[in-house]
Structure 1
Amino acid sequence: MTQRVSRARELLLWLTAGLLTATLAFVITSFTVWDGVQGTAETVRDRTAPAILSTIGAKVELLTANAAAVQSFGSGDVVRSGPGRDYQDQIALASQNLAQSAGLNEAGDKATSELQVIEALLTQYSGEIEQADARYRQPGESTLGLADLWVASRMVDDQREGVRVLLDGLVSDQEQALAQQVAPAWANPVLWLVPAGVLLVLLVWTQWTFSRRFRRIFNPQLIAATALLATAIGIGVWWTAGVNAHLRETRVAVQTVVDSRNDQASQADAARVAKLRQFLDDRCGPGRCGTAVADLAPGPATVPTALTDHDVSAQTEDVGLATEGASSGGWLRWVLPGTGIVIGVLTGWGLWRRLDEYRYQA
């Protein structure tokens, strides 16, 4: 009899050790995974997505500013009011957005270097426009002012190292960073479902063992722990699917804004190219500016119809809604591990009663 009691107590000790180990694994993995999920979602919301929107916004504002400057020179308004208020407002916004993008950058050292080059070129571009303005106002130096305007436009337009090309490369790098963050590495439930599944199986098997070997059909603590674990697994899987869906929505929403802003940029640049061609022909005579007109980057065969700023603002709000949806599960960072701790307490309580019985019998 004593030997049977000893073996039963040994089995209970093994069950206790297995259940508590599985519970500890569930607590650790659930916190690690959901802390990573929440951190990624918050990074996308607070840094990566805003950085992309700031960069593509800077591109539109730069090209709009450039078009406004060319319009001012071409119409002669530059003599009275310089490059114009539109130019000044847009170039200030471009500088502000670039600074914001630099502060939020999540695309690594390469993107940081690109931002530094772009900011330096933007400063140089502004200087060329100011010099063009000053010279164009001076009697007899309008041609030099026109040359400076041309140099400034080429800084934006150059197909190899122009600001526009560099901005496109930067947006691409930032979108790759977003794609890596949206990838379901952290949001994969397998990382915490395995220990959760092991714990669930152990709980069920323990209750079956109690009913077969110890004639204890009901153990309220283990039943409560099993129900709590099953609920936690269901909530975790459901919310994981939601986070993945919201992160995918974020990527699509960001791409939609980028496409719309690129259409706006193309429209602004097409207007700038057409006006600059006309301006050069007016000053030099048709075809007499030589390679200057020929070197202008050809505009697209068809310029897309750009959405209004109001429409783009609505698309940007969609980005915000998607990122908020992805990052709104912060409570799971604590609830799932907390649930594991409660399960551990219930499991220990339920097993301790049986251990106590066999200690008494021994």
Structure 2
Amino acid sequence: MTLRTRRVLVRIRAVLLAGTVLALVTSYLAVSGVVRTADQISSATSRAILEVAAARDALVSADAAAIASFASGEAKLAGPGQEYENRMASASQSLARVAEFNQASEGGTGTLQTVEGLVASYSGAMGQADAHFRQQGGELVGLADLWYASRLLHGPDNVLELLGKLQTDERAALDSQISGARMSAGLLVLWLLPPIVLLALLVATQVFLRQRFRRRLNLPLLGATVLGVGVVAGLLVAFSLAGRLDAVRENVDQAVAVRKASIEAADANGHARLATLLQQRCGPAGCGPTVDDFSRQTPTVSTAAPAQDAITSAARAVKSAGDSAAESGGLPVLVPAALILAGGLVVAGLYRRIDEYRYRP
């Protein structure tokens, strides 16, 4: 009888420890996966999307500033102007950050490399336009260079179109990451099942010990049970963290929409000035059907851009939502630590009972 009781207790300990290990592995994978994805979205994916939009905005604004300088005649003294230089520097910084945060795999890297080459060509064409505009009688050649430079940004398969494609790819990566982190009801039950089974085993062990040894409670096993309940709560918190990622996506879309309004305003103003400059320089004979079509189709009315505060506020909202989603309260550490401690309490709780039935010669 003594030997059989000891074997039962040893088997109960083995089952409880196996359940603890299973709960440890599955719970850690569930929590760390959600937290890791939230951190990736907050620190990389959302920033990549915003930096692509910022690069597009800076390039369009730089082009509009350069056109304004040439149209006003300031280019003969200051070239494309300080505003152009500042915007080009901002675009370069944003493209560098996109390369750092890129989530669009190798395709995104290839697109970035192509964009950087085209931006270099654009800068070179703008430099040639500046040089020709400064020369006596070189205005028409300079105007051709200015037109070519602007087409490097706006033409088919050129900078802005490629950046738009890259922004779409980064946004698709965001959707994929959120879908991968979100727990369906079935998946949540699957993740919760091991710790719930462990809790059931702990309760059953308490009942067995009470019936066999007439002890009301085994305190170490009670502590393990409390820790198991904490693990279940931690998994539910992780489930809620995955839901916060939708708020990040919404704020990203709002920030991109604000940038889009800024891009459209700068683009419209730049095109209007360029169309006016072309009409003035080309005269009645025109500069060719392509340029003439551009001039006819371009409105000459300026468009108001959103305030810089609106852009800054939208970017801050993205950061705030990302920080909130990534704030796990230490769950990737607390959940496995709780289960490791629970395993220790299981061993401690059964040690005395098993030791009482140890064979003694």
Same fold per superposition (TM over 0.5): yes
1:19 aligns with 2:16: yes
1:280 aligns with 2:278: yes
Whole-Å separation in 1 of the counterparts to 2:199 and 2:113: 54
1:179 aligns with 2:175: yes
1:168 aligns with 2:164: yes
Whole-Å separation in 2 of the counterparts to 1:349 and 1:294: 85
Whole-Å separation in 2 of the counterparts to 1:346 and 1:328: 29
Give 2:103's match in structure 1, choosing from 103, 106, 112. 106
User: Measured at CA, do residues 214 and 287 of structure 1 come closer, stay the same or move farther in structure 2, by a change above 3 Å?
Assistant: farther
Residue 232 (structure 1) aligns with: 231
1:271-305 CA deviation, whole Å, 9 max, x = no partner? 11111111111112357233213146956999986
What are the ranges of 5 or more consecutive residues in structure 2 without an aligned counterpart?
A: none
SS at match of 2:181: coil
Percent same amino acid at aligned positions?
37
1:84-123 to structure 2, matched below 5 A, reads 84-123=81-120
Assess if the C-alpha contact under 8 Å between 2:35 and 2:238 holds in 1. no
User: Measured at CA, do residues 222 and 361 of structure 1 come closer, stay the same or move farther in structure 2, by a change above 3 Å?
Assistant: farther
User: Measured at CA, do residues 46 and 297 of structure 1 come closer, stay the same or move farther in structure 2, by a change above 3 Å?
Assistant: farther
SS at match of 1:247: helix
Q: Normalised by the size of structure 1, how large is the TM-score?
A: 0.91
Whole-Å separation in 1 of the counterparts to 2:161 and 2:139: 29
What amino acid is the match of 2:178? Answer: V
Question: Deviation at 1:40?
Answer: 2.1
- The two structures, once aligned, show a CA RMSD in angstroms of 2.5
Question: Deviation at 1:117?
Answer: 0.4
1:235-250 to structure 2, matched below 5 A, reads 235-241=234-240, 243-250=241-248
User: Measured at CA, do residues 124 and 296 of structure 1 come closer, stay the same or move farther in structure 2, by a change above 3 Å?
Assistant: farther
Residue 137 (structure 1) aligns with: 134
Whole-Å separation in 1 of the counterparts to 2:267 and 2:299: 10
Question: Deviation at 1:196?
Answer: 1.0
Give 1:258's match in structure 2, choosing from 256, 259, 262. 256
Question: Deviation at 1:214?
Answer: 4.3
Assess if the C-alpha contact under 8 Å between 2:39 and 2:326 holds in 1. yes
Question: Deviation at 1:107?
Answer: 1.3
What amino acid is the match of 1:72? Answer: S
What amino acid is the match of 1:171? Answer: Q
Assess if the C-alpha contact under 8 Å between 1:266 and 1:303 holds in 2. no
What are the ranges of 5 or more consecutive residues in structure 1 without an aligned counterpart?
A: none
Whole-Å separation in 2 of the counterparts to 1:256 and 1:344: 47
Whole-Å separation in 2 of the counterparts to 1:295 and 1:106: 36
Whole-Å separation in 1 of the counterparts to 2:73 and 2:158: 27
